Chain A
Amino acid sequence: MKYNILFGGKAGQGANILTHLLAESLVEEGYYVFYYRDYQSLIRGGHGFNVLTFSDKPVHSHDSKVDVIVALDKNTVDKHQKNLKKGGVLIEGKDANMYFAGRMFKALGLPLKLLDKRLKKMKRYGENIKDVQRGYEYQSTVNSQQSMVLNIPKVQKAKRTFSSGSVGVAEGAVKSGIDNYFAYPMTPATAVLGELAQRQKEYGHLVLELENEIAVANAGAGSAITGAKTMVGTSGGGFCLMTEALSMCGISKIPLVFYLAQRAGPASGVATYNAQADLHMARHAGHGEFPRLVLAPGDPVEAQEITSQIFYLTQKFGVPGILISDKHLAESYYTTEHKPVITKVGHLTKFGRYTSYEQDPTTGSGTEDADVIIANVNERKKRWDALRAECEKFEGYKIYGKKNSKNCIVFWGSPKGAILDAIKGMDVCAIQILYVEPFPKKVGTILKKKDKIVAVENNATGQLCDVIREHTGMLIKDKILRYDARPFLCDELVKKFGRIFK
């Protein structure tokens, strides 16, 4: 059993809170829930929609065809009716979002108390609960057909977490003992800024918004050399402004964590939409040659784990680390069962004399001496090797599906959800790369045993394929690339995989 419900309306009408309340209630009832947010870069009006998918089995993605459309405006009907399945239900009308919440709770047979207790924590409880009741009663009167579709089977209750990739990064950071987080707002990185800001009271770290990303990255470097565990966050455009400081971290052994949440680019691109097109930037940003980390989680649990690993590795090796996410992972909500494994690290960095110049280690000053330069470069190369060796101890890649199948999918980051949901029952394995830099050694050996390899990426060129070629010499020709700034959907991938892996 799996249902997709689409909520659509103008920005400001409250489709988000409606989606979130329903999602949380379904999770509490024991269902697995995922929802995707699709919204424009505007504050009021326009068109935005969310797709909530729930099931009695784990689900991490949504589909293009939906069972129910909840339309808060006429535009939603016009735009999405073509995606409504045969026999699907359209719930529409000119009313408040909480009226629709009432209707959905009735249609899904959910106990109202789940909604009531959440509304009590929000503003305007009185008004909201009235709207809910009106909707609930109305839904009781409409024809049975509407409720039949949604006559969902009851499931066993279970304690699960419901969170986004941004929540994962923030939780991972506080569990790693973050001291300072600096940022300048930029979608889709801003959610981490908010999540960390809200956790200051509880955990005692500091969140500061500075004048621009250049300030953010340089302040990050300044903070990190004193020994404070420090992270900075941004999206592609802001990251471009940070790259000179990234390079400084590279030469001066500064353990700064960069959170890079990708959106569709280039330049200002498509501000609130998704892409995975900044992998090469993350790998190559900053002038000169220096060791770095580029780590890519694919769901909120991995976001926590990888965030803790990047704090550990940057502290231990005095290197900058880039934690690369994207809009889809950062802003979609996932039901998670597994407790993340957090890698702990102390404050390993000692304050001393740091410089953006090549450094004479006897004075801490800059140097132009050829022998010292060679020694420094060799030291960086040695540290790079040590970092590579240490990274092999972590799960730099994961294999899903039929592990021994000759058919293979390779991917990184947020496509994970749709891929895992799509390959169920197929004769295929899926390999996820979490450590892009340093790249896990064993991946080449595994890939060489496969007959058919298909890469799935949210970009136009297949950047992971380039990375794999660089490290293994293997040329991956078959690619499913999506570059319309939208994430992969489960039902669409099922069709595509079906054609390729018969």
Chain B
Amino acid sequence: MKAKKTQTADSKPQTANINTATPMTWCPGCYNFQILAGVKNYFSSELKKGKSKEDFAICSGIGCQGKIFDYINLNGLNTLHGRELPTSLGIKMGNPNLDVYAFIGDGGCFNEGVSHLVHAARENVDITCIVHNNQVFALTVGQPTGLTEQGFVDKTTPEGVTVKPFNPLKLVLSANATFVARVFADVKQVEWVLNEAKKHKGFKFIEIIQPCIIFHPDVGYKDYVHEIPKSHDVTDFYKAMKLIDDWDYNGIKKGDKINTGIFYKVKRETILDKHWQLKGLVKDKKQWKDRK
């Protein structure tokens, strides 16, 4: 099924060709709008620089964040809850010349699909993984995920969450990810981090702190955000761990630092480098169907 080109009355010239006519159904003021704007700016500028829509693929899952697929007119698959990473891997294996972006919720990435994350990082699959972290299953009306703070109360957990969240970035780093970054859900930061990720080859993990204004108490994240100092050595695993450790996701306490920027970035062979079949397709800029 081929996507039909859609035109909307309100499309700004800059982003016209990646808008869809689908009405947006996020809550007014949801930080996902910030993320969408940043992502669209990024794609639009890529298109302006000469890339074509056919160079990209997007993949999202199920949840508030997953709707981003409906709002960006690029090819891809709005896949099942938690399966964004294997689906994206499949898209990449299906056409290694595509630049693939996976948008995932914290529930999808760290609950339903956590096994995939570990392996995508380990295999250094050449995709950009963008997690919208609102520390809650939002679309199912606010149940706790593995990243929700202890004591969080909702209709399904009247006694409060009994255990602490785990630190997702520590997990990703431990799984040998080669690019680990965090930004706040802000147009500029999102655009910036995507441009940084673009320069890296391999599995690019980006966490976006995306407060859910409906189902998660505003703990004032913004006031705790600190930019990672320029002096940070992004190839130093232990320093990266330390910066990540400045916040444990378990609510916000005095002295917590939600560091943003690039924690870690190292070069390693990617899944494309490891399979001659894929290397060949990339080298010749070919698709499977073009091979003899």
Give the distance in Å from the alpha carbon of A245 to the alpha carbon of B35 in the complex.
28
User: What is the chain B residue whose CB lies nearest that of A228?
Assistant: B94
User: What is the chain A residue whose CB lies nearest that of B92?
Assistant: A222
A354 / chain B contacts, CB cutoff of 8 Å: 1, 76-78
Once the chains bind, are B277 and A206 in contact (CB under 8 Å)?
A: yes
Once the chains bind, are B288 and A210 in contact (CB under 8 Å)?
A: no
Q: Which among B21, B115, B289 is the interface contact of A212 at CB below 8 angstroms?
A: B115
Residue B69, interface by CB 8 Å: yes
Q: How far, in Å, is B277 (CB) from chain A's closest CB?
A: 5
B1 / chain A contacts, CB cutoff of 8 Å: 252-253, 318, 350, 352-354, 359, 361, 364
Once the chains bind, are A204 and B277 in contact (CB under 8 Å)?
A: yes
Q: Which of A69-77, A213-221, A448-456 contacts B (4 or more CB under 8 A)?
A: A213-221
Q: Which among B95, B275, B289 is the interface contact of A206 at CB below 8 angstroms?
A: B275
Residue A347, interface by CB 8 Å: yes
User: What is the chain A residue whose CB lies nearest that of B2?
Assistant: A352
User: Which residues 347-390 in A have Cβ within 8 Å of B in the complex?
Assistant: 347, 350-357, 359-366
Q: How far, in Å, is A287 (CB) from chain B's closest CB?
A: 11
Give the distance in Å from the alpha carbon of A228 to the alpha carbon of B286 in the complex.
12
Give the distance in Å from the alpha carbon of A180 to the alpha carbon of B6 in the complex.
32
Residue A248, interface by CB 8 Å: yes
Give the distance in Å from the alpha carbon of A244 to the alpha carbon of B82 in the complex.
12
Q: Which among A180, A218, A220, A361 is the interface contact of B80 at CB below 8 angstroms?
A: A218
Give the distance in Å from the alpha carbon of A205 to the alpha carbon of B70 in the complex.
33
Q: How far, in Å, is B24 (CB) from chain A's closest CB?
A: 11
Once the chains bind, are B70 and A365 in contact (CB under 8 Å)?
A: yes
Q: Which among A225, A351, A355 is the interface contact of B69 at CB below 8 angstroms?
A: A355
Residue A78, interface by CB 8 Å: no
Once the chains bind, are B277 and A230 in contact (CB under 8 Å)?
A: no
B291 / chain A contacts, CB cutoff of 8 Å: 204
Q: Which of B83-91, B185-193, B239-247, B253-261 contacts A (4 or more CB under 8 A)?
A: B83-91
A206 / chain B contacts, CB cutoff of 8 Å: 93, 275, 277-278
Once the chains bind, are B87 and A222 in contact (CB under 8 Å)?
A: yes
User: Which residues 163-179 in A have Cβ within 8 Å of B in the complex?
Assistant: 179
User: Which residues 235-292 in B have Cβ within 8 Å of A in the complex?
Assistant: 275, 277-278, 280, 287-289, 291
Report A's interface with B, CB cutoff 8 A: 179-180, 182, 200, 204-206, 208, 210-212, 214-216, 218-230, 244-245, 248, 252-253, 318, 346-347, 350-357, 359-366
Q: Which among B4, B86, B278 is the interface contact of A222 at CB below 8 angstroms?
A: B86
B17 / chain A contacts, CB cutoff of 8 Å: none
A253 / chain B contacts, CB cutoff of 8 Å: 1
Once the chains bind, are B86 and A210 in contact (CB under 8 Å)?
A: yes
B280 / chain A contacts, CB cutoff of 8 Å: 204
Give the distance in Å from the alpha carbon of A211 to the alpha carbon of B91 in the complex.
16
Given A219-B87, A219-B90, A362 contacting B21 (CB threshold 8 A): yes
B20 / chain A contacts, CB cutoff of 8 Å: 363-365
Residue B119, interface by CB 8 Å: yes
A346 / chain B contacts, CB cutoff of 8 Å: 289
Report B's interface with A, CB cutoff 8 A: 1-4, 6, 20-22, 54, 57, 59, 62, 67, 69-71, 73-80, 83, 85-95, 98, 115-116, 118-119, 275, 277-278, 280, 287-289, 291
User: What is the chain A residue whose CB lies nearest that of B94?
Assistant: A226
B277 / chain A contacts, CB cutoff of 8 Å: 200, 204-206
Q: Which among B69, B86, B115, B278 is the interface contact of A219 at CB below 8 angstroms?
A: B86
Once the chains bind, are A347 and B75 in contact (CB under 8 Å)?
A: no
Give the distance in Å from the alpha carbon of A26 to the alpha carbon of B246 in the complex.
71
Q: Given A361-B4, A365-B20, list of 7 further CB < 8 A pairs? A: A220-B90, A347-B289, A352-B3, A353-B1, A354-B76, A354-B78, A364-B3
Once the chains bind, are B94 and A245 in contact (CB under 8 Å)?
A: no
Q: How far, in Å, is B189 (CB) from chain A's closest CB?
A: 26
29 residue pairs of the A-B complex, CB under 8 angstroms, read A204-B291, A210-B86, A211-B115, A214-B83, A214-B86, A214-B116, A218-B83, A218-B90, A222-B79, A222-B87, A222-B92, A223-B94, A225-B94, A226-B57, A226-B95, A244-B80, A252-B77, A347-B289, A350-B1, A352-B2, A353-B74, A356-B62, A356-B80, A360-B22, A362-B6, A362-B21, A363-B21, A365-B20, A366-B70
Give the distance in Å from the alpha carbon of A208 to the alpha carbon of B1 in the complex.
27
A211 / chain B contacts, CB cutoff of 8 Å: 86, 115-116, 118-119
B54 / chain A contacts, CB cutoff of 8 Å: 351
B21 / chain A contacts, CB cutoff of 8 Å: 362-363
A220 / chain B contacts, CB cutoff of 8 Å: 90
Q: How far, in Å, is B39 (CB) from chain A's closest CB?
A: 16
Once the chains bind, are B77 and A222 in contact (CB under 8 Å)?
A: yes
Once the chains bind, are A364 and B94 in contact (CB under 8 Å)?
A: no
Lowest 5 A-B CB distances belong to which pairs?
A222-B90, A226-B94, A219-B90, A365-B70, A223-B94
Given A218-B86, A219-B87, A353-B1, A364 contacting B77 (CB threshold 8 A): no
Give the distance in Å from the alpha carbon of A227 to the alpha carbon of B275 in the complex.
19
Once the chains bind, are A226 and B98 in contact (CB under 8 Å)?
A: yes
Once the chains bind, are A210 and B3 in contact (CB under 8 Å)?
A: no
Given A223-B93, A228-B95, A229-B288, A353 contacting B79 (CB threshold 8 A): no
Q: How far, in Å, is A365 (CB) from chain B's closest CB?
A: 4
Give the distance in Å from the alpha carbon of A230 to the alpha carbon of B95 in the complex.
12
B92 / chain A contacts, CB cutoff of 8 Å: 222
Give the distance in Å from the alpha carbon of A179 to the alpha carbon of B290 in the complex.
11
Give the distance in Å from the alpha carbon of A431 to the alpha carbon of B140 in the complex.
51
Once the chains bind, are A222 and B59 in contact (CB under 8 Å)?
A: yes
A225 / chain B contacts, CB cutoff of 8 Å: 77, 91, 94
Once the chains bind, are B115 and A221 in contact (CB under 8 Å)?
A: no
Give the distance in Å from the alpha carbon of A347 to the alpha carbon of B94 in the complex.
12
Given A221-B90, A361-B1, A362-B6, A248 contacting B79 (CB threshold 8 A): yes
Once the chains bind, are B4 and A363 in contact (CB under 8 Å)?
A: yes
Once the chains bind, are B288 and A218 in contact (CB under 8 Å)?
A: no
User: What is the chain B residue whose CB lies nearest that of A253?
Assistant: B1
Q: How far, in Å, is B287 (CB) from chain A's closest CB?
A: 7
Q: Which among A227, A357, A361, A365 is the interface contact of B288 at CB below 8 angstroms?
A: A227
Given A206-B277, A222-B89, A353-B3, A366 contacting B95 (CB threshold 8 A): no
Give the distance in Å from the alpha carbon of A222 to the alpha carbon of B54 in the complex.
16
A350 / chain B contacts, CB cutoff of 8 Å: 1-2
Which of B116, B277, B288 has the largest count of A CB atoms less than 10 A from its CB?
A: B288
A221 / chain B contacts, CB cutoff of 8 Å: 77, 79, 87, 90
Q: How far, in Å, is A79 (CB) from chain B's closest CB?
A: 42
B79 / chain A contacts, CB cutoff of 8 Å: 218, 221-222, 248, 356
